[in-house]
Chains A and B, each alone.
Chain A
């Protein structure tokens, strides 16, 4: 972490342009009927955008292991919250007894 890495304006500009293109893309794709995949498409694009912002704008690609660990940890915990909750919401009604 000791040395500041200064990225070039070109890098930042490129990332910025890509982000704008992805925004246009995700909007356009929403009007196409992809069935169940429309959710997937929207989320994949969003995740890519998140990664671009995090890696380049938030300098995650130059950062320490610890910082990366913190970020990964946060995302994993979010997943715990979502997935274990859905372990309930997705399996309700399976036994066919009302209210269970």
Chain B
């Protein structure tokens, strides 16, 4: 136990993170379940309006700040980034451990707030409601997010320095696996964006405690300034959530079609482009606030540019499949799911990014569906793809392929059943954050709740068989997929210092001629 809690080994820290974020995922899931059950009936009889407000807030806070943001970077990134560039560890192992503790402390603070009575502001903490009117545990929650934010910053910092300074001999920038590129781009956002969230929360804290007036219209303050500051972080933050997923997909698509990723350099640079462009569009969340129309037009226009690098990725993945020798192993199924769902999410992003349409659909279930297609359909699909792909490496055990395929299918179906009806609901005018609604929406809400139940089953399955496999799974060879990355050139699970012999890189990433003969039968 002590050896785990004081470990500086990036692989063990990754496992600590894995346990932590899984816990938060199920906590957020519990809130989601309650929300969906409540929405079964138009009158919303199960909980009071106050409780409902708290439910969706705590769902959002938990999922965004304590699950999605740390999910892929802190678990898979932590475990595999050093391995993939041939390093013995991250540049700053102690800071790595510290950042896990910060996440835990932040999480405990937020948890305390939830148990003590909850928060009801929405995960967006809009002022002046959050600073002047809300009677819930805003400060404790904000503090928790503040602390978790530093966890995120330190992870990003660590990764950037590691990629710059710790690459193995011969591991040039353009030999790096695309997952590493995407983690690097993600880290840039974490480092440049998160501090602004931190200072915003400090200001909210000051406003709430000392009534300093910065966000209070009564004193001449401007609540919309809060929205600017918040979304300066939170739009880029959506890319903290999805870029790592894109990196996972690049790895998986390549391995299971036995082809080098089409247009490697484009895919690599598009990650960085997304990171940069993502900072120029935040005002598209403020279209119906007092933001000036001119700024709205600028932000709307700029928003379309983010779609370009995202589309480049989707096209290049598709092109990678072309004439590939494709195998439908579980990670690949999840990757297919990702591509389809992310595309829908991204395209609806274009809808909401256009000023005129957004005025109609903003704050409706259309927006809810949009971002769930990306965050759940995109990020979590990719996370599952990555978990299955690297599980043998992390644990030294294979997961049961049949069950895994089934889970991928169940999750895909459940997901669409849950969220597709929400597009229609939103388009028809169902507002978000309400638990009482006109009767004619009930059918679609019931469908959505039914889908959520299927989805829940889908998520429980991997939970069970992953744990099962730790004991009963077949022993994993060093390179079960015949993949090219350095992480597959060491034992499963890897030794403490990752490589028995310091690796020297002589090939591009994804050069499958180098693993000929090593290839082992795939599911």
Which chain A residues have a beta carbon within 8 Å of chain B's beta carbons?
66, 73-74, 77, 80-81, 84-85, 87-89, 91-95, 99-100
Contacts and interface: CB of A to CB of B under 8 A. Distances in A.
The 7 closest A-B pairs by CB, nearest first: A88-B295, A91-B294, A91-B292, A92-B292, A87-B295, A88-B291, A85-B228
B228 A88 contact: yes
Given A74-B192, A85-B225, A91-B293, 10 more contacts: A81-B196, A84-B282, A84-B283, A87-B283, A87-B298, A88-B295, A91-B295, A92-B290, A92-B291, A100-B293
Nearest to A70: B160
A77 B164 contact: no
Given A77-B279, A88-B228, A95 B293 contact: yes
Contacts of B224: 88
A74 B191 CA distance: 10
B280 A80 contact: yes
Nearest to A77: B192
B264 interface: no
A97 to B, nearest CB: 9
14 contacts: A80-B279, A85-B232, A87-B294, A87-B295, A87-B299, A88-B286, A89-B292, A91-B292, A92-B291, A94-B293, A94-B294, A95-B292, A95-B293, A100-B293
Contacts of A89: 292
Contacts of B290: 92, 99-100
B164 A66 contact: yes
Contact of B292 (A73, A80, A88): A88
A96 to B, nearest CB: 11
A80 B282 CA distance: 11
Interface in B181-231: 192, 196, 224-225, 228
A87 B283 CA distance: 10
Contacts of B298: 84, 87
Interface residues of B, number: 20
Contacts of B292: 87-89, 91-95, 100
A86 to B, nearest CB: 9
Interface string B257-293: 0000000000000000000000110110010001111
Contacts of B280: 80, 84
Contacts of B293: 91, 94-95, 100
Contacts of B192: 73-74, 77
B219 to A, nearest CB: 17
A92 to B, nearest CB: 4
Contact of B283 (A74, A88, A94): A88
A78 to B, nearest CB: 9
Contacts of B279: 77, 80
Contacts of A84: 280, 282-283, 295, 298-299
Contacts of A92: 290-292
Nearest to A99: B290
A85 B232 CA distance: 9
A80 B299 CA distance: 12
Contacts of B282: 84
A77 B196 CA distance: 11
B158 to A, nearest CB: 15
Nearest to B196: A81
A91 B224 CA distance: 14
A100 B295 CA distance: 10
A84 B228 CA distance: 9
A77 B290 CA distance: 24
B455 to A, nearest CB: 37
B110 to A, nearest CB: 26
A100 B292 CA distance: 5
Nearest to B282: A84
A99 B291 CA distance: 8
A87 B300 CA distance: 13
A62 to B, nearest CB: 18
Contacts of A80: 279-280
B191 to A, nearest CB: 9
Contacts of B228: 85, 88
Contacts of B286: 88
A84 B225 CA distance: 12
B6 to A, nearest CB: 31
Nearest to A74: B192
Contacts of A77: 192, 279
A95 B225 CA distance: 20
B201 to A, nearest CB: 16
A94 B192 CA distance: 32
A77 B280 CA distance: 10
A87 B293 CA distance: 10
A7 B280 CA distance: 40
B270 to A, nearest CB: 19
A99 B192 CA distance: 31
A81 B232 CA distance: 7
Nearest to A93: B292
A67 B56 CA distance: 43
A33 to B, nearest CB: 26
Contacts of A91: 292-295
Nearest to A92: B292
Nearest to B295: A88
Contacts of A73: 192
Contacts of B283: 84, 87-88
A82 B78 CA distance: 33
A77 to B, nearest CB: 5
Interface string B102-138: 0000000000000000000000000000000000000
Contacts of A93: 292
